[in-house]
Structure formats: structure tokens, C-alpha cells
């Protein structure tokens, strides 16, 4: 019955290729059998490719995974080399088959790179949706899996995947708060800082080549910037008092920061290369922090205590005027404007902890992404605006979670504890 529903929703665009058009919340039944390894398992790399594909696709909430214990996987991966009836019997709608081989084996060209061939089938008709070869050195097996998952998303749904993107976050596993970059699956963790101090609030440059953050390594909370290609780090803002909440403008030429100004903190725009002051954005009236640019660079959302408690405001950089966005709750902070420019995600204090809420840019139509799940904080949007990453203590330790923008599907990507303040890097 479910397959009939899916069949009714399928749209085949002959010029652009096959893809599904399904209603929100409908999950496509999917099977991802073990990868074929005609020349051996290559030290576990074959399984690593397949497992990465499956894990990536599970993150999306777009697919209903059929239990692998039910699989009867006979034959090969290419059309005509297996019996499609083995999969129609399981009510699968999509089938993803992979074959991995070392360079020089089979029809994989002689090379230090291994080949990963991906085939996607629309089971109900037997139609081949995707046939594509990917190559990389064996140490990059997971990256091959990410590329295959990206290709599956585009071929099946007409949507770009996000599996090759990166997340910057604060990790405290070593006792200090350091900045790290990690893959979308929580793996490939690499340090950005290693100064044994407190480092907070990482922010990506729009091109993904630099990260800015606040560090207490010189006792004062100062803003730094690191070029990830050269490894060079420099100070952007070290005025006496606080220098926090850095965020890049969409063109990358400026960084908005919160600085001490009298008894409060205000927002300032500084040059991302020199740290020179370009513009003071707010003046007095309470603490102003956590700026977030709209994608066109014309508006900035921020948190302010000017009304008595922390609330979200939206500033028009052309006129300098600000409007209050949130009116429900006595503590709303950490706003982030979506890449599509029509939504704001923020943190709201609730009776049971802190929750993630998404509203229209004008504050209407609030959607509570989390509820009764301990503390959920630090939201950040995926590059396409379809997902959120945030920290959550629902399992007792602070981990990073990814959620669909409507909160329907949520999944942890770290499991070591001590992860906070994630920010999603740009699409590579």
C-alpha cells in the first residue's frame, strides 16, 4: 500500500532525470545492502563506504530504511545481474547498490585510487536512476561514501546533499574548551585551537577558508581569526572588556562582534582583514549580543536586553532601525537567520530547560523544534536551510544533533560528550 502511495507521488523528468516529489514527512522506503567486494574487503574500506552512505541518508529523515536482516541480496550490482523481485518483495521503493574495488582490479584503472561504483534503482519499475563511478585514495573511503550519498540525494530527490560539509564546534573532552572542525557524521575531528584556554563561538567565513572565535587565552575575551589553509592566526578585536559573538558578513569583508560599551555591550562591524572599525551598529539600551546576518547582508538579527529580558531583534542596516521579533517567553537568545532569509532559529528558555524555536523573519508562525528534551542550544542552519545542527543534553551529555527544519527528524552525530556551539560550514 505504501509503495502505491509513493508511486502516485513519483515525478519523472525525462530531460533532467528521475526524482521523487513527495509530501513533507513522507519517507521513501530504501534498501542499502552491503557493498559488493569482488576483490576483497580492502582492510574494511568496502564496508566503510557502504556504512557512510547509509548513515548519511539516515540523517536526512527522507527515507524509511528497510531492516537489513530482511535482505535477500543475490547477484551483482549492475542492471540485469540480480533479481529485482528480491526487493519488491520487501516493499522497497529505492535500492542503492555499491561495488568497491582497488585500482587496477576489474575495470578500475591502474591507480593508487580505489573505485566505488554506485547504482540506484526505482524498484517499482526496475528503472535505473543512477550509475556513477567515484574514485579516491583508500584513506578517503568515507569521503567516497559522502559523495555517493550526495549523488543519491540529487538523483532521487533533485536536492543537493550536505554530506561533504563540515561543522565547527566547541569541544571540551580534553578539559579545556577548544575549537574543532568535524565531518557531518561527527568523524574526522581536527583541532582549530590548542591553547589550553577557553575558546568559544566559532564562525565560518563564507568561503569556508577561515574561522573566527572568541578566546580567553590572554585573560581577556578577544576575537581571533585563523586561516585554515595557512594555519595563520591573528587578533581581530581585543578591546578591554568583552569581544564576543563574531559572525561574518555574507561577502566576507566584515565581522560583526559584540564589544563592551560603557556598562553594556553593543554591536560593531569591523574589517575581517585588519580588525579596523567600520560601523557601530547599536547604541546603549541594554546588552546586545549574538549578531546574525541575513543572506543579502541588509539585516542583522541579534539578542538584546533593551526590553528588560533577552529578546530577539531585527535591524535594518540601511535605516539603522530595529524591530522586536519575539514576544513570547522571558529569555530568547542566539538568533540565526536561515540561508533563505525567511526564518530565524533561536534558543528559548522553557520550564524544562532550553529549546530551539524557529519563526518567520517577522516573528510569526513559531515552531518549537525541541520540547521536554533537557537543554537544547546553539542552533545553526545547514547551507541550504533545510536542516539545523544544535547541542543537546537529552542523553545526559552535551552532544551535537542534526534536525530537519521542522523538527520532525532528529539524530545525534557525536557520542563522546562535551560538544557545544556548533556552526555549519558552507557548501564545498
Nearest to 175 by CA among 412, 393, 417: 417
pLDDT tops 80 at residue 14: no
pLDDT tops 60 at residue 9: no
User: DSSP per residue over 14-59, as a string?
Assistant: TTTEEEE---TTPPEEEE-PPPB-TT--GGGHHHHHHHHHHHHHHH
- Write the CB contacts of 314 (distance below 8 Å, at least 6 apart in sequence): 299, 300, 301, 322, 323, 325, 344, 361
CB burial of 279-290 (b: ≥16 within 10 Å; e: otherwise) equals eebbeeebbbbb
Four-CA torsion 96, 101, 105, 110, nearest 10 degrees:
110
The Cα 427–Cα 55 span in angstroms is 19
> SS3 letters for 48-78?
HHHHHHHHHHHHHCCEEECCHHHCCCCCCCC
User: DSSP per residue over 165-219, as a string?
Assistant: -EEEEEE-TTSSBEEEEEETTS-S-EES--SSSBEEEEEE-TTSSEEEEEEEEES
Lowest mean pLDDT among 18-32, 119-133, 251-265, 325-339: 18-32
| Dihedral sign from CA coordinates of 307, 308, 312, 315 | positive
The Cα 43–Cα 114 span in angstroms is 12
Helix, strand, or coil (residue 85): helix
- Number of Cβ within a 10 Å radius of residue 8: 8
pLDDT of residue 25: 74
Phi, psi (deg, nearest 5) at residue 35: -70, 145
Q: How far is CA 405 from CA 60, 91, 198, 386, in A?
A: 11, 28, 31, 5
Burial of 303 (0-12, 13-18, 19+ CB in 10 A): buried
- Contact call for residues 328 and 311 (beta carbons, < 8 A): no
Q: Are strands 127-136 and 166-171 parallel, antiparallel or unpaired?
A: unpaired
Q: What mean pLDDT is reported for the chain? A: 93
Tell me the average pLDDT across 304-315.
Answer: 94
Q: Which helix (H) or strand (E) holds 130?
A: strand 127-136
Q: What are the start-end ranges of the H helices in 263-313?
A: none
Query: Could you give the strand order of the β-sheet that contains 410-412, starting from the edge strand earlier in sequence?
Result: 376-381, 387-392, 399-404, 410-412
pLDDT of residue 23: 72
Q: Domains in the chain and their CATH numbers?
A: 2-157 (3.40.50.10070), 166-424 (2.120.10.30)
- Contact call for residues 345 and 336 (beta carbons, < 8 A): yes
pLDDT tops 70 at residue 175: yes
The Cα 402–Cα 407 span in angstroms is 9
pLDDT of residue 352: 86
The Cα 300–Cα 268 span in angstroms is 11
> What share of the chain has pLDDT > 70, as a percent?
95
pLDDT of residue 17: 55
Helix, strand, or coil (residue 155): helix
Q: At what angle do helices 45-60 and 141-157 cross, to 10 degrees?
A: 40
Tell me the average pLDDT across 105-109.
Answer: 95
pLDDT 10s digits, 59-104: 999 999 999 999 998 889 999 999 999 999 999 999 999 999 999 9
The Cα 285–Cα 53 span in angstroms is 51
Q: What is the pTM of this model?
A: 0.93
- Contact call for residues 64 and 29 (beta carbons, < 8 A): yes
Q: Are strands 63-65 and 28-31 parallel, antiparallel or unpaired?
A: parallel
Tell me the average pLDDT across 346-362.
Answer: 96
Report the half-sphere exposure of 326 (CA within 13 A, side-chain side). 33
pLDDT of residue 78: 94
Amino acid at each position: 500500500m505504501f509503495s502505491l502511495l509513493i508511486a502516485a507521488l513519483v515525478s519523472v523528468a525525462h530531460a533532467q532525470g528521475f526524482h521523487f516529489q513527495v509530501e513533507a514527512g513522507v519517507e521513501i522506503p530504501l534498501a542499502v545492502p552491503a557493498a559488493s567486494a569482488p576483490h576483497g574487503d580492502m582492510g574494511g574500506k568496502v564496508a566503510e563506504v557502504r556504512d557512510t552512505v547509509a548513515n548519511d541518508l539516515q540523517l536526512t529523515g527522507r527515507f524509511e530504511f528497510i531492516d537489513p536482516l530482511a535482505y535477500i541480496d543475490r547477484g551483482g550490482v549492475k542492471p540485469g545481474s540480480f533479481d529485482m523481485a528480491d526487493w519488491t518483495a520487501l516493499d522497497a521503493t529505492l535500492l542503492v547498490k555499491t561495488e568497491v574495488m582497488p585500482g587496477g582490479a576489474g575495470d578500475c584503472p591502474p591507480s593508487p585510487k580505489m573505485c566505488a561504483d554506485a547504482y540506484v534503482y526505482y524498484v517499482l519499475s526496475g528503472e535505473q536512476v543512477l550509475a556513477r563511478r567515484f574514485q579516491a585514495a583508500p584513506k578517503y573511503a568515507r569521503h567516497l561514501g559522502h559523495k555517493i550519498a550526495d549523488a543519491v540525494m540529487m538523483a532521487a530527490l533533485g536536492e543537493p546533499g550536505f554530506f561533504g560539509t563540515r561543522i565547527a564546534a566547541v569541544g571540551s573532552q580534553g578539559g579545556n574548551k577548544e575549537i574543532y572542525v568535524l565531518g557531518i557524521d561527527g568523524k574526522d575531528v581536527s583541532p582549530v585551537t590548542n591553547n589550553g584556554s577557553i575558546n568559544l563561538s566559532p564562525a565560518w567565513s563564507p568561503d569556508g577558508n577561515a574561522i573566527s572565535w572568541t578566546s580567553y587565552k590572554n585573560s581577556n575575551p578577544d576575537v581571533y581569526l585563523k586561516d585554515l589553509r595557512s594555519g595563520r592566526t591573528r587578533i581581530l578585536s581585543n578591546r578591554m572588556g568583552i569581544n564576543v559573538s563574531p559572525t561574518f558578513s555574507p561577502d566576507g569583508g566584515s565581522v560583526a562582534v559584540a564589544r563592551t560599551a560603557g556598562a553594556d555591550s553593543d554591536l560593531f562591524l569591523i574589517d575581517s582583514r585588519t580588525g579596523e572599525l567600520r560601523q557601530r551598529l547599536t547604541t546603549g539600551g541594554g546588552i546586545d549580543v549574538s549578531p546574525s546576518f541575513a543572506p543579502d547582508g541588509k539585516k542583522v538579527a541579534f539578542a538584546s536586553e533593551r526590553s528588560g529580558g533577552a529578546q530577539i531583534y531585527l535591524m535594518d542596516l540601511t535605516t539603522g532601525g530595529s524591530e522586536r521579533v519575539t514576544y513570547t517567553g522571558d529569555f530568547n537568545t542566539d538568533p540565526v537567520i536561515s540561508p533563505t532569509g525567511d526564518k530565524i532559529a533561536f534558543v528559548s528558555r522553557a520550564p524544562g530547560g532550553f529549546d530551539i524555536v524557529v519563526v518567520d523573519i517577522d516573528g510569526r508562525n513559531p515552531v518549537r523544534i525541541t520540547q521536554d528534551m533537557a537543554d537544547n542550544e546553539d542552533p545553526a542552519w545547514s547551507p541550504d536551510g533545510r536542516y539545523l545542527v544544535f547541542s543537546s543534553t537529552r542523553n545526559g551529555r552535551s552532544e551535537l544533533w542534526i534536525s530537519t527544519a521542522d523538527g520532525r527528524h532528529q539524530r545525534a552525530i557525536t557520542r563522546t560528550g562535551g560538544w557545544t556551539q556548533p556552526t555549519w560550514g558552507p557548501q564545498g
